[in-house]
Structure 1
Amino acid sequence: MENTVHGQKQPRVIPGYYNASRMEVAEELCIFENNRFVYVMSYGALDIFVRGAWTQQHDTIYLSTDKVKSKYFLAFSLDKKVPAGKLLLVFKFGYQHAPYLNFSFASHPVVAGHPGMTQVAEGFQTLVDMPVSRQLWLVHTMYDTEFSAYALPANVNKVVIAPGDGLGKPVFHNMPFLLGDSCVINLNDEQRKFRYTGPVSAEDKQYAQPDTTKRM
């Protein structure tokens, strides 16, 4: 009878640290008792910190991140130095990021060849023909794979684009993780297993509450 009852119990989420670190990549998922989680990852110069909420259904937990801030900041202006019929795009990114930037002007994003860019004091810039579509799609493929859409105002010929706080932050929309005795497994990537390493420290429980700090 005891074995039967135990077998019917819903698997319990073990609050604590689940580590998926591997060569050159430090990665950890921290699960809290109050249905909150924190995900951190570090690879080279890239550091990721996101938090959110989790729910459980049978042997699976579902992670959903809190709202992530904008990936880019855009500033628009009318510059008399820009030739007629042209649009000047200025990317305020470091040189190591410039090769990974991609953009398009269309109703839907289009992956185009990387444009030639000139390094300037502000970052990098490129001069393009004034687009018919005022819809700008941006992607930074080193950190992100999805385009972000921005509407350009009329009568501007210069757009300054700076990295936002949300650049590189992954977004989990009800992402399923299978529970095990000592690990959780991302069902979208079975090769990524987060091994359980221990209980949550009292100092880290401050991260379990949603807030609007700069960490997000």
Structure 2
Amino acid sequence: MGLSLFLCVPAPAAVAPGVYDGSQTEMAARLVLRPDGKFAYALSYGALDEQAQGRWIEADGKLLLTTEPRPKPPRFAVVSDKPAADGGIHVALSDPDMLQGSSLTMVVTYAGASAPAFVEVDEDGRLPVPPGKTVAALVPDLPVFEQPLPAYALTPGGHMIVFRFEPNDLGIAAFDREPLAIDGDTLVLRRYDRTIRFEKDAN
């Protein structure tokens, strides 16, 4: 009888609610798992600060985070698109300071190409286009974002385009069943080419 009751006791969950600290050199990270299935996450890494809240579940031996409500993705809006008399494509940002001194790089989709190309803009703002190539769409490149930003489709001919960055919910991590490996009381997240090990707070 006692043995039968013992066998019916469910195994304890691998992940315990509580506060998890993932801070390391030059990085501050914190993850709070609440008993009601909600979470709060924060990361500060160099010039990057992000946070998220939503729901967590444990499935297939991993912790999965999903941001709720779903954040609006960032995008580049077109401030102006005027014809260019020279037939070339000229691009600029409404706030060039956001490049912090770096050159402007565009993600360019050529007509008939299977994948986009990364093209650095000349100092005068002209986009160099190889002979025989036609630009079908383009968008400024911001490497900090893991997902590509929506591209702007071009009509044939010359263009003088000014882009404005609209962050929307910039700073909110858009987790969609983001997996964290479970290593005892430690949760392991891969983020921005870094491994963040969240250790459970003993308090």
TM-score scaled to structure 2, two decimals? 0.70
1:48 matches 2:50: yes
1:152 paired residue number:
153
Residue of structure 1 aligned with 2:82, choices 75, 79, 82: 79
Residue of structure 1 aligned with 2:23, choices 21, 24, 27: 21
Residue of structure 1 aligned with 2:122, choices 109, 116, 126: 116
Change (3 A) 1:166 1:116: farther
Gaps (5+ residues) in structure 1?
Answer: 119-125, 200-216
2:178 paired residue number:
175
The C-alpha deviation readout for 1:13-45, integer Å capped at 9, x for no partner, is: 432221111111111222222322222111222
1-structure distance, mates of 2:195, 2:81: 50
The C-alpha deviation readout for 1:141-187, integer Å capped at 9, x for no partner, is: 1x124322223364863232315134565433322223455322238
Question: In structure 1, what residue type is equivalent to 2:122?
Answer: G
TM-score scaled to structure 1, two decimals? 0.67
Gaps (5+ residues) in structure 2?
Answer: none
**Which piece of structure 1 moves more, 66-75 or 168-177?**
168-177
**1:137: Cα distance to partner?**
4.2
Aligned-partner SS, 1:28: strand
**1:84: Cα distance to partner?**
3.2
Q: Judge conservation of contact 2:18–2:32 (CA < 8 Å) in 1.
A: yes
1:197 paired residue number:
201
Query: How many residue pairs are counted as aligned between the two chains?
Result: 189
Q: Judge conservation of contact 1:10–1:58 (CA < 8 Å) in 2.
A: no
2-structure distance, mates of 1:117, 1:163: 24
Q: Judge conservation of contact 2:108–2:118 (CA < 8 Å) in 1.
A: yes
2:13 paired residue number:
11
2-structure distance, mates of 1:104, 1:20: 37
Q: Judge conservation of contact 1:109–1:137 (CA < 8 Å) in 2.
A: no
Counting aligned pairs with the same residue, the percent is 17
**1:114: Cα distance to partner?**
3.0
**1:97: Cα distance to partner?**
6.5
Change (3 A) 1:186 1:129: closer
Q: How does 1:100-139 map to 2 (within 5 A)?
A: 101-106=105-110, 108-117=114-123, 126-128=125-127, 132-139=134-141
Q: Judge conservation of contact 1:28–1:41 (CA < 8 Å) in 2.
A: yes
Residue of structure 2 aligned with 1:165, choices 139, 163, 168: 168
Over the aligned positions, Cα root-mean-square deviation in angstroms equals: 3.5
1-structure distance, mates of 2:79, 2:128: 16
Q: How does 1:197-216 map to 2 (within 5 A)?
A: 197=201
Q: Which of 1 and 2 has greater Rg?
A: 2
Change (3 A) 1:19 1:132: same
